[in-house]
Amino acid sequence: MTEPPIREAMRSAPLPDEQAAEQRAWQLVGAAFEHDVKQQRRGRRPRRMARPALIVGVLFAVGAAALTPPGEALGEWISDAVRPARAPSKPALTSLPTGGRLLVTSSQGAWVVQRDGSKRRLGRYTEAGWSPGGLFVVATRGRQLVALEPGGAVRWTLARSAPVTRPAWSPDGFRIAYLSGSSLRAVAGDGTGDAPLTGEVAPVTPAWRPGAEHVLAYVNRLGTIVVRNGDTGNRLWRARTFGSPTRLLWSPDGAYLVVVSREGVDVFDGAGAPMIDRALPAGVQTGTATINPVNGTLALVRYRPTLDRSEVVTLPLDTGGGPIRSRPRRLFAGDGRFGDLAWSPDGRWLLLAWRDANQWLFIRSARVNKVQAISNVGRQFDPGGDAAAPFPRVSGWCCAQSPDSQP
Amino acid sequence: MRAAQQGSAEALETLFRWHWPRAHRAAYLVVHDAVAAEDIAQEAFLAAVRALDRFDRSRPFGPWLHRIVVNRAIDFARARALRSEVEALEAVSPSASEASPGQPYSEELVAALARLSPEHRAVVVLRYLLEFTPGEIAGALDLPRGTVNSRLRRGLDTLRVALAEEQP
């Protein structure tokens, strides 16, 4: 075989799904281009590649507000946000405002916080997550995946050759997905049947779709959102966002997949179609996000580096299947950076971990206008520590009542 | 290019339609993974859109794009090669029904290319699909010219042997 036949063979070698791939790529590239052009016509040179028309532009209209040092007050409530009862912050967590238990990870390991404020340390685990019914906790430690009871008793462990991270328990309790190195794997809830699902995934916690089937969303190394059947391995759909996804969240009914990245939030329906079409505000970064387990409302942290201010906004996602047109509602704003968010199991309270203020804020729904602040949070999960206590992570708030059928 | 830089979506689509097939094909022939190839080519085009207003029109667009594609494809193929544990799950090979009946070497070529390392595949693809000169390949991959020539020679030899074995 000489060079010309090699050239011909390369040009005619079969490519799977060639035409459809071109169409998908053009949709994405064309949308990106149009968005970019629109931004330039608005007189704003894009700071970087602006995201295409799939992005929630949660407007960050932080006004000319008087700035208060982090932790000095409960923060600033702006515009249509709640006017809270300004209760002074408590120096310690003595109770949760509603039912359920918190799962927290700190430099000393994983902790379970009961409703009465009592805390039990489970052990030196770096990450942790609840089982769907709250009867168990899945945690990671180095190259180990561990399932344990909330009291700390270990039920089973699984060791892998590469570091184990980002565990996620399926809503029916029968599967746990996790990363081992950059491979995505799944194991049964009883610790059996561990198997690889795919390789080359990004360090983002995979998300199981609520429902009877074991459908799993994850992010591959190239930043593509991939949704697969976790049992058969069949790929159901895939989608791209311009940002690098950091978090995947399914709505409680499995109708929407929310993809959070630093540049914004994308929402896809269950078949992978984009549901939101808004422009991205410049100079704003997206932080963490969480979905209300009762009504599906998305709560989202946004951060404006130039002002060093953060805010929490909420956005209803329940539209009955149509496009999401509602505007985000500003709920709370404050100086510095916010950390994690967690909805209470009854969906009535939002826990905001205010990292730079070393506070937790329990925010009740807007109509009730109530906030409970807990100060000195870092030290409470690092008792006896010498240096400044690192701020703990909130890994979940679960569960008001443990269903009999779920672990 | 000028029209696309001035905001013409039609011009950008023309540019895309012209360059996508070879960019996509090049990525696929290096990574041998349909999903990854699509992602890599998409990423390259998004990078192109991102840099469109700064692009120097005196330079050709195609080689610039192909350089991005092939380098990203090499990175991906190297990373995946380190994780053979799950490689089989992700690799997508064209089925027999997708072969081109009029081009008897096509399927065999894809299989033969897969026997080469990603670095050798990239050199062969740049030379014989994208029509880069050895000097241009050296620049695109930041390699000495001699290394390019030796990889080309070795790659071509491997392909010849593999394809000869396939001939009836």
Highest-confidence range of A128-137, A233-242, A293-302, A397-406, by mean pLDDT? A128-137
User: Given this model, what pLDDT does residue B1 score?
Assistant: 78
User: Given this model, what pLDDT does residue B166 score?
Assistant: 55
Instruction: Output the 3-class SS for A298-318.
Output: EEEEEEECCCCEEEEEEECCC
Whether residue A183 and residue B86 make contact (CB cut-off 8 A), yes or no, is yes
Burial A345-375, CB ≥16 within 10 A → b, else e: bbbbbbbbbbbbbbbbbbbbbeeeebbbbbb
Query: Which one has a higher pLDDT value, B165 or B18?
Result: B18
At residue A39 the predicted structure's pLDDT band, cuts being 50, 70 and 90, is low
At residue A337 the predicted structure's pLDDT band, cuts being 50, 70 and 90, is very high
Residue-wise pLDDT tens digits, A261-277: 888 888 898 888 887 75
- The CA distance from B77 to B69, in Å, is 12
Where does chain B have alpha helices with state H? 2-5, 9-31, 34-50, 61-81, 84-90, 106-114, 118-128, 134-141, 145-166
DSSP, collapsed to helix, strand or coil, labels residue B101 as coil
Which domains can be identified in chain B, with CATH numbers? 2-166 (1.10.10.10)
* Percent over 70 (pLDDT), chain A: 78
Whether residue A200 and residue B106 make contact (CB cut-off 8 A), yes or no, is no
Residue-wise pLDDT tens digits, A85-139: 445 677 788 889 988 999 999 999 999 999 999 999 999 999 999 999 999 999 9
Nearest chain B residue to A242 by CA distance is B46
Among A59, A28, A58, A45, CA closest to A223: A28
Query: Which one has a higher pLDDT value, A381 or B78?
Result: A381
User: Given this model, what pLDDT does residue A396 score?
Assistant: 95
* Percent over 70 (pLDDT), chain B: 79
Among B129, B39, B57, B1, CA closest to A25: B39
| CATH architecture of structural domain A55-398 | 7 Propeller (2.130)
Lowest mean pLDDT among A147-161, A217-231, A311-325: A311-325
Query: Which one has a higher pLDDT value, A368 or A139?
Result: A139
- The CA distance from A105 to A123, in Å, is 10
User: Given this model, what pLDDT does residue B100 score?
Assistant: 39
Highest-confidence range of A92-96, A177-181, A237-241, A389-393, by mean pLDDT? A177-181
**Averaged pLDDT score across all residues of chain A:** 80
- The CA distance from A290 to A311, in Å, is 14
- The CA distance from A301 to A73, in Å, is 19
User: Given this model, what pLDDT does residue A8 score?
Assistant: 80
- The CA distance from A358 to B32, in Å, is 50
**Averaged pLDDT score across all residues of chain B:** 78
Tell me if chain A has a CB within 8 Å of the CB of B144: no
Residue-wise pLDDT tens digits, B36-57: 888 888 888 888 887 777 777 7
User: Per-residue pLDDT averaged across A364-376, rounded?
Assistant: 75
Tell me if chain A has a CB within 8 Å of the CB of B20: yes
Chain B CB contacts of A21 under 8 Å are 24, 34, 37-38, 41
User: Given this model, what pLDDT does residue A36 score?
Assistant: 67
User: Given this model, what pLDDT does residue A228 score?
Assistant: 93
- Residue limits of CATH 2.130.10.10 in chain A: 55-398
At residue A61 the predicted structure's pLDDT band, cuts being 50, 70 and 90, is very low
Lowest mean pLDDT among A60-69, A105-114, A344-353: A60-69
Query: Which one has a higher pLDDT value, A328 or A216?
Result: A216
Those residues with Cβ within 8 angstroms of residue B48's Cβ, 6 or more apart along the chain or in another chain: B55, B61, B64, B65, B68
Whether residue A37 and residue B129 make contact (CB cut-off 8 A), yes or no, is no
Query: Which one has a higher pLDDT value, A24 or A350?
Result: A350
Whether residue A26 and residue B16 make contact (CB cut-off 8 A), yes or no, is yes
Asked if A233 and A185 touch (Cβ cutoff 8 Å), the reply is no
Chain A closest-CA separation from residue B143 CA (Å): 22
Asked if A373 and A74 touch (Cβ cutoff 8 Å), the reply is yes
Among A396, A403, A400, A402, CA closest to A102: A396
Among A348, A18, A76, A358, CA closest to B34: A18
What sign results for the dihedral spanned by CA atoms B16, B19, B22, B23? negative
Lowest mean pLDDT among A43-57, A78-92, B14-28: A43-57
Those residues with Cβ within 8 angstroms of residue B35's Cβ, 6 or more apart along the chain or in another chain: A220, A224, A226, A235, A238, B90, B92
Q: What count of other Cβ atoms lies within 10 Å of the Cβ of residue A306?
A: 7
DSSP, collapsed to helix, strand or coil, labels residue A365 as coil
Chain A CB contacts of B85 under 8 Å are 183, 196, 199
Tell me if chain B has a CB within 8 Å of the CB of A241: no
Chain A closest-CA separation from residue B142 CA (Å): 23
Chain B CB contacts of A40 under 8 Å are 7, 53
What sign results for the dihedral spanned by CA atoms A360, A364, A365, A366? negative
Chain A CB contacts of B102 under 8 Å are 12
Cα–Cα distances in angstroms (integers) from residue A61 to residues A84, A281, A329, B14, in the given order: 20, 10, 11, 39
User: Given this model, what pLDDT does residue B96 score?
Assistant: 32
Highest-confidence range of A83-97, A279-293, A343-357, B86-100, by mean pLDDT? A343-357
Query: Which one has a higher pLDDT value, B158 or A121?
Result: A121
Residue-wise pLDDT tens digits, B100-137: 344 445 667 777 888 888 889 999 999 988 989 999 99
| Ramachandran angles phi, psi of A232, nearest 5° | -90, -20
DSSP-assigned states of every residue in A220-237: BTTS-EEEEETTT--EEE
What sign results for the dihedral spanned by CA atoms A57, A58, A59, A62? negative
User: Given this model, what pLDDT does residue A321 score?
Assistant: 57
Which candidate from B20, B36, B110 shows the least CB-CB separation from A22?
B20
Cross-strand pairs, A158: A145
User: Given this model, what pLDDT does residue A288 score?
Assistant: 92
